[in-house]
Chains A and B, each alone.
Chain A
Amino acid sequence: KAGVTQTPRYLIKTRGQQVTLSCSPISGHRSVSWYQQTPGQGLQFLFEYFSETQRNKGNFPGRFSGRQFSNSRSEMNVSTLELGDSALYLCASSERGFSGELFFGEGSRLTVL
Chain B
Amino acid sequence: GQQVMQIPQYQHVQEGEDFTTYCNSSTTLSNIQWYKQRPGGHPVFLIQLVKSGEVKKQKRLTFQFGEAKKNSSLHITATQTTDVGTYFCAGDYGGATNKLIFGTGTLLAVQP
A-B complex is real: yes
What is A's interface to B at a CB cutoff of 8 Å?
Answer: 33, 35, 42-45, 48, 55-56, 58-59, 90, 92, 97-107
B45 within 8 Å of A by Cβ?
Answer: yes
Q: Which residues of B contact A99 (CB under 8 A)?
A: 30-31, 92, 94
Task: Decide if the interface of chain A is mainly helix, strand, loop or mixed.
Answer: strand
Contact of A56 with B45 in the complex, beta carbons under 8 Å: no
B71-83 contact mask (Cβ, 8 Å, vs A): 1 or 0: 0000000000000
Q: Which residues of B contact A101 (CB under 8 A)?
A: 33, 45, 48
Residue of A43, A45, A92 with most partner-chain B CB within 10 A: A43
Contact of A102 with B33 in the complex, beta carbons under 8 Å: yes
A43 touching B33 in the complex, CB below 8 Å, given contacts A90-B42, A98-B92, A104-B42: no
Contact of A56 with B98 in the complex, beta carbons under 8 Å: yes
Q: Which residues of B contact A58 (CB under 8 A)?
A: 99
Interface residues of B in 15-60 (CB under 8 A from A): 30-31, 33, 35, 41-45, 48
